[in-house]
Amino acid sequence: MHFFSSVTPPDTITQSAYWCIFRRDAILVRQTDAAIELPMLVSPCEIGLTTIRTQYLGTLHDTPCYSAEILPDDTAPEGMTFNGLRELFYALPEDLYRLAGRAFLIMDWDRTHQYCGRCGHPTEQVATERAKRCPRCELTVYPRISPAMITAVIKDRQILLAHAHRMPTGMHSVLAGFVEAGETFEECVRREVMEEVGIEVTDIQYFGSQPWPFPNSLMVAFTAKYAGGEIRIDPAEILCADWYSAENLPTIPGPFSIARRLIDWFVAEQSKNNP
């Protein structure tokens, strides 16, 4: 990605920067015939927008990057629109999408931590790190990151895929769930799989991770082997679940989601083991 994180902005802004400008939870993008782009500006004032708050993020490919929040009734400049991050998942290049996700997390943390959660006094930005501090009681808060596990469960030559209520019609994916307080990732994998589909797993192996800005998750991916039990779905979470071979997959998530990376890994392993 070639992103360098920093909280110290340039002394003067003389070059165009990536600006991730949010109206509520939607980000401003420029739409052209060729692509959807983040605006490159010296300042949002160039396009008639006044920011409520801004945060310097760092540099992407040596280009400065900022997040900004504007008033909820501001309109998009000509040739631009406000879009939700989910709508842009496959529209923006991966490096710009990850920048937008980082910007949203920091913007949302900034706007929801203007006051101390312990004593109610206005907070102040810490100059040397991404933190806010209460000058009255000295409580320091950092951007919230909510870890969640996502797991590919393998049984013989099949992978467990489920269709959850939140998914588009027909879409199936691997199982996921948030880590509870005091829980290890491995304990979370075992609990979530048991809760959602009623089976036991073993041989839990770390696979990778992906920031997930909805609004502040970190998806931590694992593989696991089936250890016992029959599929019994939790109807509050899952509509259906089943075992699928690499040759007979249902509709699955699109490229560069970590869910898709897990499924692609499973397919590649089956091809490698059975050429």
The residues spanned by each domain of the chain are: 3-112, 146-273
259 annotated ligand-binding residue: yes
65 annotated ligand-binding residue: no
- Report the CATH fold assignment for 146-273: Nucleoside Triphosphate Pyrophosphohydrolase (3.90.79)
230 annotated ligand-binding residue: no
125 annotated ligand-binding residue: no
Q: What is the pLDDT of residue 273?
A: 76
CA dihedral (63, 67, 70, 72) in degrees, to 10, reads 130
Closest CA to 3 of 69, 94, 110: 94
248 annotated ligand-binding residue: no
69 annotated ligand-binding residue: no
* Tens-binned pLDDT, residue by residue, of the chain (275 aa): 589 999 999 888 778 999 999 999 999 999 888 889 999 999 999 999 999 999 999 999 999 999 999 999 999 999 999 999 999 988 999 999 999 999 999 999 999 999 999 999 999 999 999 999 999 999 999 999 999 999 999 999 999 999 999 898 999 999 999 999 999 999 999 999 999 999 999 999 999 999 999 889 999 999 999 999 999 999 999 999 999 999 999 999 988 899 999 999 999 999 887 76
What does the mean pLDDT of the chain come to? Answer: 95
CA dihedral (98, 165, 158, 89) in degrees, to 10, reads -20
Shared fold status for 3-112 and 146-273: yes
Q: What is the DSSP string of 148-212?
A: EEEEEEEETTEEEEEEETTSPTTB-B-EEEEPPTT--HHHHHHHHHHHHH--EEEEEEEEEEEEE
The CA distance from 190 to 263, in Å, is 19
147 annotated ligand-binding residue: no
User: CB–CB of 162/151 below 8 Å?
Assistant: no
State the number of CA atoms in the 13 A half-sphere of 152 facing the CB.
27
Which residues on neighbouring strands pair with residue 228, listed in sequence order? 200
> How many other CB atoms are there within 10 angstroms of residue 102's CB atom?
22
Q: What is the pLDDT of residue 156?
A: 93
The CA distance from 206 to 242, in Å, is 23
Q: What is the pLDDT of residue 1?
A: 56
86 annotated ligand-binding residue: yes
Q: What is the pLDDT of residue 275?
A: 65
The CA distance from 170 to 250, in Å, is 8
pTM: 0.91
186 annotated ligand-binding residue: no
Q: CATH number of the domain at 3-112, please?
A: 3.90.79.20
Which residues on neighbouring strands pair with residue 18, listed in sequence order? 40, 65
